[in-house]
């Protein structure tokens, strides 16, 4: 039922990921250099793109859960993305660019819960973390390749050709999904996990009630927290972590363009993305608790973000420091990405597969809008400090959510 051949479909994600990595920075450079957009426009692109994901993922996620199939939504999403990105090549105004970016996000939203559900429904529960990490490694590898292509080609190939190339890659992913993806016979893995957790909780409570004097008050409190299904603090931490990341990264190409040419900016992000991609291989083999992993990720991002100011040294030292800091940020994003997805899918109710993506979208939207406006109004130093403080808030939320749990 869970043969390795059932995971070949993940290779079909790579072409679209290449397009995503290339187009994510290409759109911002195109906006700044060709459309003469401001930092506020950069924030609007990031914000509107993420805002479109919020209702879209909730709708798509419910449709996928109700329909019980993932493959049609992957094909539809990839095809729609390809058409939307290719159409950017003919854009002549910021408003039209925003419209296409919004459309692209709405269609891309269909692929996110579909790929997450297909990944976990193709694995036993014990293999979920590794399965998610392997999928994210492949998409991260694709995005890294896309950034590398951008670094080499942006100075020699026109924007039109590059956007058309991205569109073709997305369509190729749709075709690969048709050939490689196989639906599970029945989506039952998450239901089995829910049943197993309920049975385990019942056994724990029965044992405690049979002889309560054998246990300390701390143990009793831990049992109560184990029975509490609330994930509000987890969601709050995910929201803050994502908001800080989006506020930081949405105007970051503009920050680096103050010191380096566009090809170097691509290569800076290429170096960071490469590290983050490699980290997915490590994260998938980690066995530490979700609470500890998420807390470490928030702590390291809180510490590393202000170090981006050292890139202002310019020339070789600034480039090296920029790559090092971006590598740290991307590496701990990988830890957060896999762990938060795993923690959510393990606890979410059926029909709420798109809720995680909606929280990520909300954080990205608010962060994107804040990042552009904040950097324009107060400067990048204040922006980096703000992002660091928000990561500190996420650290507190994760610590409180998982306190006393093993």
Query: Could you tell me which of 381, 396, 361, 374 has the C-alpha nearest to residue 49?
Result: 361
Using 50, 70 and 90 to split pLDDT, how confident is the model at 315? low
Higher pLDDT, 265 or 352: 265
Query: Could you tell me which of 337, 385, 392 has the C-alpha nearest to residue 364?
Result: 337
Domain boundaries, the chain: 4-187+225-401
Residue identified by tokens 């956007």 is 163
Residue identified by tokens 């997805």 is 341
pLDDT, one tens digit per residue, over 108-131 is 988 888 887 787 766 655 556 677
CB 75 within 8 A of CB 134: no
Round to whole Å and give the CA distance between 150 and 140: 15
Residue identified by tokens 């980096």 is 384
pLDDT, one tens digit per residue, over 181-204 is 877 655 444 444 444 444 444 444
Using 50, 70 and 90 to split pLDDT, how confident is the model at 9? confident
SS3 316: helix
pLDDT of residue 196: 43
pLDDT of residue 239: 92
CB 89 within 8 A of CB 159: yes
DSSP 82-111: HHHHHHGGG--SHHHHHHHHHHHHHHHTTH
Query: Could you tell me which of 248, 199, 251 has the C-alpha nearest to residue 388?
Result: 248
- CA 218 to mean position of chain CA atoms: 36
Round to whole Å and give the CA distance between 326 and 394: 20
- Residue 129's φ and ψ, nearest 5 degrees, are -60, -45
CA-to-CA dists, residue 288 to 107, 271, 406, angstroms: 35, 27, 10
Using 50, 70 and 90 to split pLDDT, how confident is the model at 214? low
Six token digits for residue 194: 């829910």
pLDDT of residue 216: 52
Q: Which CATH class is domain 4-187+225-401?
A: mainly alpha
Six token digits for residue 257: 């363009």
CA atoms within 13 A on the CB side of 31: 27
How far is it between the farthest Cα atoms of the chain?
A: 75
């Amino acid at each position: 039922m869970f043969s390795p051949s059932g995971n070949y479909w993940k290779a079909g994600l790579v072409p679209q990921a290449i397009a995503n990595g290339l187009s994510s920075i290409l759109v911002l450079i195109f906006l700044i250099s060709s459309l003469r957009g401001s930092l506020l426009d950069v924030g609007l692109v990031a914000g509107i793109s993420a805002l479109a994901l919020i209702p879209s993922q909730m709708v798509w996620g419910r449709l996928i859960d109700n329909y019980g199939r993932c493959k049609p939504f992957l094909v539809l999403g990839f095809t729609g993305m390809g058409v939307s990105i290719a159409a950017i090549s003919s854009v002549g105004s910021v408003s039209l660019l925003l419209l296409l970016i919004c459309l692209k996000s709405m269609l891309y939203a269909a692929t996110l819960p579909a790929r997450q559900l297909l990944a976990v429904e193709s694995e036993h529960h014990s293999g979920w973390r590794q399965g998610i990490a392997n999928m994210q490694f492949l998409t991260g590898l694709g995005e890294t390749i896309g950034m590398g292509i951008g670094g080499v080609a942006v100075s020699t190939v026109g924007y039109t050709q590059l956007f058309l190339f991205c569109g073709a890659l997305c369509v190729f992913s749709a075709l690969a999904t048709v050939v490689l993806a196989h639906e599970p016979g029945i989506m039952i893995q998450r239901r089995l996990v829910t049943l197993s957790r309920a049975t385990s909780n019942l056994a724990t409570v029965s044992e405690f009630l049979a002889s309560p004097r054998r246990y300390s008050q701390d143990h009793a409190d831990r049992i109560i927290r184990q029975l509490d299904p609330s994930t509000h603090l987890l969601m709050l931490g995910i929201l803050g972590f994502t908001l800080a990341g989006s506020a930081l990264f949405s105007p970051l190409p503009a920050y680096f363009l103050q010191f380096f040419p566009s090809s170097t900016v691509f290569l800076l992000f290429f170096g960071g993305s490469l590290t983050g991609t490699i980290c997915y291989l490590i994260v998938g083999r980690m066995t530490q608790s979700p609470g500890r992993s998420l807390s470490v990720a928030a702590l390291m991002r809180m510490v590393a973000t202000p170090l981006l100011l050292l890139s202002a040294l310019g020339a070789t030292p600034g480039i090296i420091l920029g790559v090092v800091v971006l590598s740290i940020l991307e590496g701990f994003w990988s830890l957060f990405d896999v762990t938060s997805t795993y923690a959510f899918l393990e606890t979410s109710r059926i029909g709420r597969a798109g809720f995680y993506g909606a929280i990520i979208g909300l954080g990205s939207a608010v962060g994107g809008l804040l990042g552009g406006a904040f950097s324009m109004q107060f400067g990048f130093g204040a922006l980096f400090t703000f992002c660091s403080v928000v990561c500190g808030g996420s650290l507190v939320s994760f610590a409180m959510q998982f306190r006393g749990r093993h």
